[in-house]
Amino acid sequence: MEDEISSFFESSPPLKNMKETTENLNQFIELNSSSSQGGRRIVCVTSGGTTVPLEQRCVRYIDNFSSGNRGAASTENFVKAGYAVIFLYRRGTFQPYCRSLPDDPFLECFEYPDKTNIQVHKSHVEAVKMAVMDQQAAVAEGRLLKLPFSTIYEYLQMLRLIAMVLKDVGPYSMFYLAAAVSDFYVPWDSMTEHKIESGSGPLDIRLAQVPKMLSILRSNWAPKAFCISFKLETDSKILIEKATKALQKYKVHAVLANELSTRKEEVVVVSSSGNVVVRRECDKPESIVEDNLIRLIVDRHSTYIKEYHS
Ligand code: PAZ
């Protein structure tokens, strides 16, 4: 497995903005680990789906359903709980603090009463005000660092980089891996450079399996970090069994099991201390499952830190 992982990284196209990303990460971690900030806990939240390019000069790619809602909502809750968040997200997916804005906020939230004036429409004032205030406060206080990815190659290289720079934060760091990561991909070396021709009949593509990085994240990249992974299924009958197997195989601290159609209503926290069902509070229209979920995860992280030191 280690060989497969090494060859995945060796053959990946290098990150374009590696130097700048590393500098931003180091600054963010230094700021949040300093005693002036009381040594904040730092969580890396991954969000959205990875793409699988079919051509090196990519015109076509394979994608998945993930909207990034879970990652964005969880990020807001982690910031509220006092964490600094590295938000590793798929370009174009939901962003923290903007989930309640209309799909096209720029066009739908604004109006111009006359030709020299533009203003937020009355019906959206509160939502826009909250979004701008909360986002700006999180960034200004150094609690939110947003890093975008598109491809599986970018995602895994960035995850490894984040794990490496977080190593010294030890048990105060957390990985909350909500991104829907591709299981299959076209290895860069065997990918055609130019756009695939469409005139020669059906297309046969052989996809290789993406090496599983969770084990190496746990054992090598960030062995002291608190690590939460997700399991998604469409068949609720196999969900808990699969999540339990993942818990044992990857030795993460909890697996959050969710089913595609009910993922906004219910998540099961599967861990060695038993399974806990976390639900959205149905009688409160504003309630989201992440409110209760992040409260529970933060509690578990506190216990982990205490046990680590004892
Ligand atoms: O991004 P989203 O809010 O639409 O969905 C969240 C989710 C289902 C992608 C996430 O909760 C999850 O289960 N992520 C891991 C998926 C997987 O098993 O690969």
| Nearest atom within ligand 1 for CA of residue 229 | 15
Q: Which CA distances in Å does 5 have to 8, 16, 156, 251? A: 5, 20, 10, 18
Which sequence spans correspond to the domains of the chain? 2-97+141-224, 239-310
Task: Tell me the pTM.
Answer: 0.96
The complex's ipTM? 0.99
Report how far residue 65's alpha carbon sits from residue 183's, in angstroms, rounded to the nearest whole number.
Answer: 14
CA of 309 to the centre of ligand 1 (A): 32
Q: What mean pLDDT is predicted for residues 279-291? A: 94
User: Over 80: is that where the pLDDT of 35 sits?
Assistant: no
pLDDT in tens, 156-193: 999 999 999 999 999 999 999 999 999 999 999 999 99
Distance CA 119, CA 194 (A): 46
Mutation pick for ligand 1 pocket among 62, 65, 66 (CB with most ligand atoms within 8 Å): 66
Q: Is the CB of 131 under 6 A from ligand 1?
A: no
CA angle 217, 249, 291 (to 5 degrees): 70
Q: What is the pLDDT of residues 62-115, one digit of tens each?
A: 999 999 999 999 999 999 999 999 999 999 999 999 988 888 888 889 998 888
Contact (Cβ atoms closer than 8 angstroms) between residue 251 and residue 218? yes
Domain 2-97+141-224 -> CATH class: alpha beta
Q: What is the pLDDT of residues 229-276, one digit of tens each?
A: 999 999 999 999 999 999 999 999 999 999 999 999 999 999 999 999
